[in-house]
Homo-oligomer: A and B are copies of this chain.
């Protein structure tokens, strides 16, 4: 019964994760989501309840899939150096986690729980590889630094802030 959906829910969640990995929660508007995700405003609220609901769904998908893949990759590294290199090469592999940890986890317990899961997964993966204590922290710090201060040869032509 009813009209069939014109969008793939899993694909919407995945695309949302990409958006939320690139900008702060408040920096991604519902208009942005509607435009880039190929899902209608109404369907978004029907399916996920709210912007936060979609954010949580995206975060959970990310922790379950992307972080799992990253952890497997790290496990295959020989030492911390190589693990760090692999983590950098994974591109946006840690970005969603970074943003969620810094800006949402402190004010949203459910986000904090997902962040906890992700960090534990990385801890466990790195534990099999290196004896360096706080290896996960170092990995996060490295990615943070790379994001904040990329080699600024270009001037990032697009995607200016909204206000």
Of the candidates A84, A106, A108, A156, the one having the most CB atoms from chain B within 10 angstroms of its own CB is A106
Q: Chain B nearest CB: distance from A104 CB in Å?
A: 9
The reply on A1 being an interface residue by CB < 8 A is no
Q: Are A152 and B112 in contact (CB under 8 A)?
A: yes
Q: Chain B nearest CB: distance from A89 CB in Å?
A: 17
Q: Are B98 and A102 in contact (CB under 8 A)?
A: yes
Chain B residue contacts of A155, Cβ below 8 A: 109
Q: Chain B nearest CB: distance from A114 CB in Å?
A: 10
The reply on A137 being an interface residue by CB < 8 A is yes
Which listed residue (B106, B138, B144, B150) contacts A147, Cβ 8 A?
B106
Copies in the complex: 2
Asked if A119 meets B145 with Cβ closer than 8 Å, knowing A24-B24, A99-B103, the reply is yes
Q: Are B144 and A140 in contact (CB under 8 A)?
A: yes
The reply on A27 being an interface residue by CB < 8 A is yes
Asked if A106 meets B148 with Cβ closer than 8 Å, knowing A26-B26, A27-B26, the reply is yes
Q: Are B149 and A112 in contact (CB under 8 A)?
A: yes
A residues contacting B by CB (< 8 A) are 24-27, 84, 98-103, 105-109, 112, 115-116, 119, 134, 136-142, 144-145, 147-150, 152, 155-156, 159-161
